[in-house]
Chain A
Amino acid sequence: MSSVPAASHAELARVVRQHAGQLAASLMHVTGDFATAEDLVQDAVLAALQHWPVEGIPHRPDAWLFTVARRRGLDVLRREDNYRAKLAQLQWPVQPDPDERLRLIFACCHPALPRQAQIALTLRVVCGLTTAQIARAFLVPETTVAQRITRAKRKITDAGIPYRIPADDELGARLTEVLGVIYLLFNEGYLSTAERAQSRDLVDDARWLASLLHQLMPTEPEVAGLLALIRLHRARAAARFDLDGGLVLLQQQDRSLWDRDAIAEAGRLLARAAKQQRPGPYQLQAAIVACHAEAERWQDTDWEQIVLLYDMLLHLAPSPVTRMHRAIAVRHLSGPQAAMTELDTLAGALDGYHLYHATRAELLRELGHPEQARAADRIALELTANPAEQAILQQRITWS
């Protein structure tokens, strides 16, 4: 596989992702057994990753995957006549009801499963990632991921986790769970740096999942909010790293590299969602990012609006990290002293968070305390494992 150019890997990933979830949903519909359907899909995906780089992507990749899964299913289910008979009847093309995929997503993200298992299952079943790909993306051993999946599948069967779209009165909480999984994937991918550039692009998987969910639940404003948030970040991705793979802070980014069309489109998506008047944390976060993205230049940033949006966000989802970000916005609206006063109230809650110390360092520098600033930067440096952030902090300690 190593001889295959990177573009082919991306193409493979895209095609597999396009069809794996569909296949899982169809198999689930036929066998009614989550663990079996999941195994068969994974087998088909592994076969595809083995054959396609050599033989090329087939004309009908979905039919190819289906054939492999069906053949494999007839083989492994030899002793289970019930499934076998159903599987034998299954003919191509199968057109799963769109709700099937939604059921699949809700089952993978059931709150009775631990978060890490929700993530691994969603990636494997809905996006068609292999265990090895998930392990590489999260920098954990493959056996750990395999164990999480095995345990989660056993729990789904043994605990009676249902395969269906939650009832109306539960939908809100359950959707929050699904969005939480997608958001975490997005974050994980967003924070990963050049070091992991060769591994799976999790931000793209998050974008794809959010977009699938938006397609399946077009009237849910928070789904649209999360999709807009991811699109806004992606639209500016080209400016986030310099040629050496170093992180470029927002203020220094070359805004001509931003995809203005994509930003405008995300803005429209957000505006449509806002019309429903059901604000939520993802819509608000996206709105904050939109304020940054829509500013022509750094000095055009509408800080007043941003502080207002942070206030709304804090009202819905209070968190010390959000308060810290609000303090940064306050710095641009009311100056470093006002920001420092707010930041000081977070000392206890965020003492172990590197960005808290890095933010303090910036404010201390502006307030004319370079020694204290360096000390704060040093604490931040010790607290982060991210090489791109380490580089920036090291530079600041040395040069300012």
Chain B
Amino acid sequence: MDVKYVLLFVDTEQFANDLQAMGPVERERAYERVGEWFADHAGQLRGGSKLRSPEAATTVRLDRGEPVVTDGPFVEGKEVVSGYAEIEVADLDEALRMVKTWPGCPVVEIRPVES
């Protein structure tokens, strides 16, 4: 009966700047809180990872005849996907409850996985 979702963690420029501006102790604490969140929800988590920065991304377009390879993410913007996690929960409300306590980046998209 459980539903699988992918949580897409989205960073904003502001968030990145705030993180930069933190002192080492403060930043360490911020990472700890994220670690705790993952530990608290180990029962629902099925996988996922942090992603390297969008500068490391390479995009391939296949709708232009020949494959076109370009540097960077497929959408250029101030909000970038910085990680993802797959979860398995009873329904959207449980996913919402989890996400509302997320201590990291300021935007999270909840996408149901097609089964």
Contact = CB atoms under 8 A, between A and B. Distances in A.
Interface string B81-96: 0000000001111011
Contacts of B90: 162
Contact of B97 (A158, A161, A164, A170): A170
Interface in A158-186: 158-162, 164, 166-167, 170
A159 B112 contact: yes
A112 interface: yes
Contacts of B30: none
B105 interface: no
Interface string B74-115: 000000000000000011110111000000000000101000
B3 interface: yes
B113 to A, nearest CB: 10
Interface majority SS (helix, strand, loop, mixed), chain B = mixed
A160 B97 contact: no
A162 B97 contact: no
Contacts of B97: 170
A112 B5 CA distance: 15
Nearest to A162: B91
Contacts of B91: 160-162
Contacts of B96: 112
Given A158-B112, A159-B112, A160-B3, A166 B92 contact: no
Interface in A109-140: 110, 112
B93 A170 contact: yes
Nearest to A163: B91
Nearest to A111: B96
Nearest to A166: B93
Interface majority SS (helix, strand, loop, mixed), chain A = loop
Most buried by B among A110, A158, A160, A161: A160
Contacts of B112: 158-160
Contacts of A170: 93, 97
A148 to B, nearest CB: 19
Interface in B4-60: 5
A245 to B, nearest CB: 46
Contacts of A110: 92
Contacts of B3: 160
A20 B40 CA distance: 43
B114 to A, nearest CB: 8
Contacts of B5: 160
A23 to B, nearest CB: 24
Nearest to B1: A160
Contacts of A164: 93
A392 B110 CA distance: 49
A197 to B, nearest CB: 40
Nearest to B5: A160
Nearest to B3: A160
Contacts of A167: 93
Interface in A182-223: none
A110 B96 CA distance: 12
A110 B95 CA distance: 14
Contacts of A160: 3, 5, 91-92, 95, 112
Nearest to B97: A170
A278 B55 CA distance: 52
A28 to B, nearest CB: 15
A112 B3 CA distance: 16
A33 to B, nearest CB: 14
A159 B95 CA distance: 10
Most buried by A among B90, B91, B93, B97: B93
A167 B112 CA distance: 22
A159 B90 CA distance: 11
A158 B92 CA distance: 10
Contacts of A166: 93
A158 B3 CA distance: 10
A162 B3 CA distance: 11
A170 B98 CA distance: 13
Interface string A3-33: 0000000000000000000000000000000
A178 B52 CA distance: 41
B93 A159 contact: no
B9 to A, nearest CB: 18
A36 B55 CA distance: 47
A166 B97 CA distance: 11
Nearest to B111: A159
21 contacts: A110-B92, A112-B92, A112-B96, A159-B92, A159-B110, A160-B3, A160-B5, A160-B91, A160-B92, A160-B95, A160-B112, A161-B91, A161-B92, A161-B93, A162-B90, A162-B91, A162-B92, A162-B93, A164-B93, A167-B93, A170-B93
**Closest CB pairs A-B (n = 7):** A162-B91, A160-B3, A160-B91, A160-B92, A161-B92, A162-B93, A159-B92
